[in-house]
Amino acid sequence: MAQKTDAETVDVTAAILVAAESCFERFGITKTTMADVARAANISRATLYRYFSDREALIMASIVRRARMNMEPWRARIREYPTFGERIVEGLCANIRRGIRDPMIHLLVSPAEATLANTLLATSGKAVELTRELWEPILTEAQESGELRTDIDLDLLCEWLSELEMNYISALGADAGSLDRLRDKLRMFVVPALVAPGR
């Protein structure tokens, strides 16, 4: 039997993830089984397990895929804001808005799935890793240009940005406040703490 090419493997993986996400939306993330996903993808469970070792691996792959969709253009869009303060404020607000609108991310941070989200994203460090992937180039450039304080630890900052985004996706998705109010808070409390003196 011929081995699958890398392209064929990517195609099958993508098809499985699309099927899985449809199940997550239909049944909820915690109630979706591997059997549900196999049926939706029109494959056997044995085939599904060749690609994903368990449900948690499948969920994580879906999160990563969605987070990385259009990451480069998104980073370029954040860079268009003229000051570092604006890049932080508008970039965070836009990411939170995207999270609220993304059914998979919104599901994951909902109260019903909060324990799973904490285990998969927070405990695994994947949320911080994805936040760093998006933000670190922007933060590094801001430090090098003198806009971001040079004494700030970028790893800690990315960890905090990740926590901030997840908390607000959950809160604002439940209609607790507004992005305009968050924007005001970021300008008043966050930007002054990050921007280098005199900038």
- Write out pLDDT tens, residues 133-191: 999 999 999 999 999 999 999 999 999 999 898 888 877 765 556 889 999 999 999 99
Supply the pLDDT for residue 34: 96
Helix, strand or coil, per DSSP, at residue 199:
coil
Mean of all residue pLDDT scores within the chain: 87
Compute how many other C-beta atoms are within 10 angstroms of the C-beta atom of residue 19. Answer: 20
Q: How far apart are CA 77 and CA 71, in angstroms?
A: 10
User: What are the contacts of 153-160 at 24+ separation with CB within 8 A?
Assistant: 157/194, 158/128, 158/131, 158/132, 159/128, 159/131
Q: Residue 77: is its pLDDT beyond 80?
A: yes
> What residues are paired with 195 via a beta bridge?
148
Domain ranges within the chain, ordered by starting residue: 6-64, 70-194
What's the pLDDT at 176? 52
**Percent of the chain at pLDDT exceeding 90:** 54
Please give the pLDDT value at position 107.
75
pLDDT at residue 1 in the model: 43
* One fold for 6-64 and 70-194: no
CATH no., domain 70-194: 1.10.357
CA 120 → CA 20, 67, 127, distances in Å?
A: 16, 14, 9
pTM of this prediction? 0.80
Strand, coil or helix: what is 146? coil
CATH for 6-64?
A: 1.10.10.60
Q: Which range (29-38, 69-78, 118-127, 140-149) has the least confidence?
A: 118-127
